[in-house]
Amino acid sequence: MAIARMPLIAIDCPDPGVLARFYGAMLDWKIDVSGDRASVCAENGQCISFHQVVGYTPPTWPGQERPQQMHLDMLVDDLDAAEAAVIDLGATKPPTQPGTSFRVLLDPAGHPFCLCLH
């Protein structure tokens, strides 16, 4: 029996509302913004929470001056279509791409995330 459940992941950022709207649109999840915190949640209860950090400095990728420490993998059916869609939402694509079955992008706060073929 599990000791705990993991219903959400919390991510530090400079503007929680910006990231909630970005991930909410990408995942088609419900968005909730409240002050210095925001979240997006799926109907099944999965959630990502965003917490405001004053003086936030994004990780560098692929360099390790400020390691990424964590990242999210998103499953997609079409890498090109998904990449174009998340860039339209505000993601950026760094020039270094280490694989062919996934793409590394940066969310609006600079966190790396991957689009992975399903």
Q: Are residues 49 and 18 in the same domain?
A: yes
Percent of the chain whose predicted confidence (pLDDT) is above 90: 72
Residue 59 lies in a domain: no
Bridge partners, residue 49, by sequence = 10, 39
Q: Are residues 40 and 79 in the same domain?
A: no
Q: Are residues 40 and 80 in the same domain?
A: no
Where in the chain does DSSP place strands (E)?
8-13, 30-34, 37-41, 47-52, 72-76, 102-106, 112-117
Please name which of 61, 111, 74 lies closest in space to residue 90, comparing C-alpha atoms.
111
The values of phi and psi at residue 22, to 5°, are -60, -55
Residue 65 lies in a domain: no
Per the structure, the complete domain to which residue 94 belongs is given by 71-118
> Which of the four pLDDT bands, split at 50, 70 and 90, describes residue 116?
very high
Q: Are residues 11 and 46 in the same domain?
A: yes
d(CA 8, CA 62): 26
Q: CA torsion, points 45, 4, 113, 58, in degrees to nearest 10?
A: 110
User: Is the pLDDT confidence value at 91 over 80?
Assistant: yes
Tens of pLDDT along 28-70? 999 999 989 999 999 998 999 999 999 999 998 888 888 877 8
List the CATH number of the domain containing 45.
Answer: 3.30.720.120
List the CATH number of the domain containing 77.
Answer: 3.10.180.10
The values of phi and psi at residue 94, to 5°, are -70, 155
pTM of the model: 0.84
